Amino acid sequence: MTELTEVSVPTRHGEILCTPEFGRWLELAEATARRLDAVRVFGEPLGVLRAQARCELVGQARALLGRWGFAPPEGCNGPWVVTAHQPTLYHPGIWIKTWAVDLSAGRGATGLHVVVDSDECQAWGVRIPRRDGALRAVQRTLAECGEGVPFEAAPVPEEARWRAFCAQLRDDLKTLGLPELVERVFWAERAGLESLSPARHLGEFGAALRRRLEAKHRPVRYWEVTVSELSQTRAFRQFAGWIARDAERFRTCHNAALEEYRRQQGVRSAAQPFPDLRQEGDWVELPFWLVREGVRRPVFVRPGTRPVVSCEGKPLGELTDGGLEGLRPRAITLTLFLRLLVADLFVHGVGGARYDRVTDRVLQEFFRVPPPPFAVLTATFHLPLARHADPKAAYAAAQRLWLDLQHNPDRHLPDPAPARPLVEEKWRCIRALEAPDLPRSGRRELTRRIRAINEALRVHLHRRIAEVEAELEALRREVEEHEVAADRGYPFFLFDPEEVCAPLRAQEGVGCGR
């Protein structure tokens, strides 16, 4: 189990959150592999099941990479370091996870990236900076997918639409005067054009585009597989069967782990980090989705030796060893499958690391397996947009000064002599307010009088107040611009891979004799 204090996203450019240190990953993964190989799950040796699952995934990954036009990695040696994410144009703090898996593969591990094409797509696009007088961020969308539609059911964009999307991004970036960013969009456009034909859906398009950009930098050394294909393996069907046959106990473990997580984290929403599993009569909700007619739907089961599955109130038949077409894992279930049957070290971002405390408890209580450790990795990278240091402190100081001018104008009078009678009256009122037996009506009257005196004193400061208000407005605009400049959410293809990998390389030798 990974012991975590509260993790938080780095705020400065080039900062990394990596726990444990990258240099310790292989050592930790090798120790985990030895422990898991000695465990039995539902009476079966886990080491044998893991070998079978990996063999199936490598076969699928080899076929997928071949269809995309990539040579497969060389062999499957050493411990398995695995990560997963949706195939979006995400920021480099997420991209660093695939680079970490790739670097691990270069150091003797087997790397695997799982493309979560079963997640809901909604809108596929990017936030991009542009300057129209002021610096601002705009949203550019390539595809609107609709509620409940997963990436695997969203179509590959048309070539003309992709070209127009990239042209819009270049137009935005040209306003910044940074030609290197415009050139990186050209690289992304070419990678996308090469990915259109081999991709079967939007999820594959996004994943193949990313891999092509990585391969442009250097040969990619990790395997890659989609959740929609992973779900067709015998290993996954066996895993789903374990849960379906004992769905009531799984639901109890799952919901108890969620309740404990919410209590520890002070979370009041029943939807966070994800909803409880429901029970409706004899039917128990499974931690899976069923993708039918291009939409994800919840699925229920009537537990038993040959569990019966239903969706939207319609029985679909028994869940047999042949599985159920369209069955996909939800977030926690995918992590359970990967950490139990595939990975020796699973690499999370901050969000996944938080909810995997729930996964740890389910591993312990349902599968009777001591939770293996996982790694947490994210980073912050900024585009070269900031024209000055962070102005928030200056803005806060100016705001404090403005408030003091409003409420304590007597402190700022250029010549206090003419206003001395008003100032003395104000302080008599303040001292009078301290009387313990002052009636409420007297308190209201004194407060009104203090406000009136402050207003009269501010007449002597109108020029100074106007100067501070002008400074505040200028600083407010600077703060807004700086927030846009320091946004960590811009798409990964605008960043230099060497810059993204640098913090990992700095940790490669930490705690490791390699």
pLDDT band at 321 (very low <50, low <70, confident <90, very high): low
- DSSP bridge partners of 348: 376
The answer on 211 and 147 residing in a single domain is yes
pTM: 0.89
pLDDT per position as a tens digit, 193-210: 999 999 999 999 999 999
The answer on 5 and 55 residing in a single domain is yes
The answer on 430 and 354 residing in a single domain is no
CA-closest candidate to residue 281, choices 303, 259, 297? 303
pLDDT band at 324 (very low <50, low <70, confident <90, very high): confident
- What pLDDT was estimated at residue 354? 85
pLDDT band at 255 (very low <50, low <70, confident <90, very high): very high
* Mean pLDDT across 158-180: 97
pLDDT per position as a tens digit, 8-29: 899 999 999 999 999 999 999 9
Q: Name which of 91-95, 168-172, 389-393 the model is least confident about.
A: 389-393
- What pLDDT was estimated at residue 317? 82
Residue 475: φ, ψ to 5°: -70, -35
Residue 410 DSSP class: G
- What pLDDT was estimated at residue 4? 56
Q: Which helix (H) or strand (E) holds 256?
A: helix 247-265
Domain range for 245 is 1-381
* Mean pLDDT across 374-400: 91
- What pLDDT was estimated at residue 514? 35
Average pLDDT over the chain reads: 93
Q: Name which of 266-270, 415-419, 422-426 the model is least confident about.
A: 266-270
Whether pLDDT at 2 is above 60: no
492 located within any domain: no
497 located within any domain: no
- What pLDDT was estimated at residue 512? 38
Whether pLDDT at 273 is above 90: no
CB 102 within 8 A of CB 111: yes
- What share of the chain in percent tops pLDDT 70? 97
* Mean pLDDT across 301-307: 84
503 located within any domain: no
Token pair listed for 176: 């910044």
pLDDT band at 281 (very low <50, low <70, confident <90, very high): confident
The answer on 91 and 158 residing in a single domain is yes
Q: How many Å apart are CA 63 and CA 302, to the nearest integer?
A: 36
Question: What are the residues whose beta carbons fall under 8 Å from the beta carbon of 483, sequence distance 6 or more?
Answer: none
Handedness of CA 117, 121, 123, 128 (dihedral sign): negative
Domain end among 360, 381, 402: 381
pLDDT band at 473 (very low <50, low <70, confident <90, very high): very high
Whether pLDDT at 271 is above 90: no
pLDDT band at 6 (very low <50, low <70, confident <90, very high): low
Task: Name the domain count of the chain.
Answer: 2
Q: Name which of 69-73, 260-264, 270-274, 412-416 the model is least confident about.
A: 270-274
334 located within any domain: yes
501 located within any domain: no
The answer on 73 and 25 residing in a single domain is yes
Exposed, middle or buried: residue 463 (CB in 10 Å: 0-12, 13-18, 19+)? exposed
- What pLDDT was estimated at residue 194? 98
- What pLDDT was estimated at residue 513? 35
Q: How many Å apart are CA 443 and CA 108, to the nearest integer?
A: 76
Q: Pseudo-torsion of CA 19, 23, 28, 33, nearest 10°?
A: 120
The answer on 177 and 85 residing in a single domain is yes
Strands (E), 192-294: 223-226, 279-280, 283-292
422 located within any domain: yes
The answer on 413 and 297 residing in a single domain is no
For the beta carbon of residue 487, count every other beta carbon within 10 angstroms.
16
Domain end among 334, 359, 381: 381
The answer on 359 and 399 residing in a single domain is no
Helix, strand, coil abundance in the chain, percent, nearest 5 = 50, 20, 30
pLDDT band at 510 (very low <50, low <70, confident <90, very high): low
pLDDT per position as a tens digit, 86-117: 999 999 999 999 999 999 999 999 999 999 99
The answer on 208 and 332 residing in a single domain is yes
CA-closest candidate to residue 60, choices 237, 223, 289, 238? 223
CA-closest candidate to residue 117, choices 19, 232, 219, 8? 232
The answer on 405 and 364 residing in a single domain is no
Domain end among 329, 352, 381: 381
205 located within any domain: yes
Whether pLDDT at 61 is above 70: yes
Q: Name which of 263-277, 411-425, 466-480 the model is least confident about.
A: 263-277
SS (H, E, C) 67-93: HHCCCCCCCCCCCEEEEEECCCCCCHH
How many residues are recorded in the chain? Answer: 514
- What pLDDT was estimated at residue 386? 76
The answer on 349 and 426 residing in a single domain is no
502 located within any domain: no
Q: How many Å apart are CA 441 and CA 445, to the nearest integer?
A: 6
Q: Which helix (H) or strand (E) holds 122?
A: strand 120-132
The answer on 427 and 460 residing in a single domain is yes
